[in-house]
């Protein structure tokens, strides 16, 4: 029986240690996840990719509804942070 590899660390996972992403079923070691970051509001586990997509969907909603009420200085901060995230992802080969 083939073993699965953790999407976070890339190492093999024995069946008793595996946690699955509730969205895409990606396997992860329980010890590799930060439960505060990689769980949804209902306590379901998310892989880093699905957690990031979920966070972006949340940000989409906030910006769609409230973009006009965000002050200019805060808007600049948001844009700068988003640019930094894009740069980080591009540098890491995404």
Residue 44: inside a domain: yes
Tally of structural domains, the chain: 1
Whether 12 is covered by a domain: the verdict is yes
- On whether residue 79 sits in a domain, the answer given is no
Distance (Å) of CA 6 to CA 21, 27, 43, 68:
11, 5, 20, 42
28 belongs to a structural domain: yes
Least confident of 34-38, 50-54, 76-80: 34-38
pLDDT over threshold 90, residue 21:
yes
Which residues fall within 8 angstroms of residue 37, CB to CB, at 6 or more apart? 51
In a domain, 93, yes or no: no
94 pLDDT above the threshold of 80: no
Residue 26 lies in domain: 4-67
Whole-model pTM: value is: 0.81
What is the percentage of the chain residues whose pLDDT exceeds 70?
97
pLDDT mean over 37-42? 90
90 within domain boundaries: no
Residue 43 lies in a domain: yes
Supply the CATH number for residue 28's domain. 3.30.40
């Amino acid at each position: 029986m083939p073993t699965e590899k953790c999407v976070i660390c890339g190492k093999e996972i024995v069946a008793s240690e595996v946690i699955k992403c509730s969205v895409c079923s990606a396997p992860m070691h329980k010890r590799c996840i930060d439960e505060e970051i990689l769980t949804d509001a209902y306590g379901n586990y998310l892989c880093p990719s699905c957690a990031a997509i979920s966070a972006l969907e949340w940000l989409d909603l906030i910006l769609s509804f409230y973009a006009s009420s965000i002050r200019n200085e805060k808007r600049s901060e948001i844009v700068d942070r988003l640019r930094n995230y894009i740069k980080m992802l591009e540098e890491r080969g995404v």
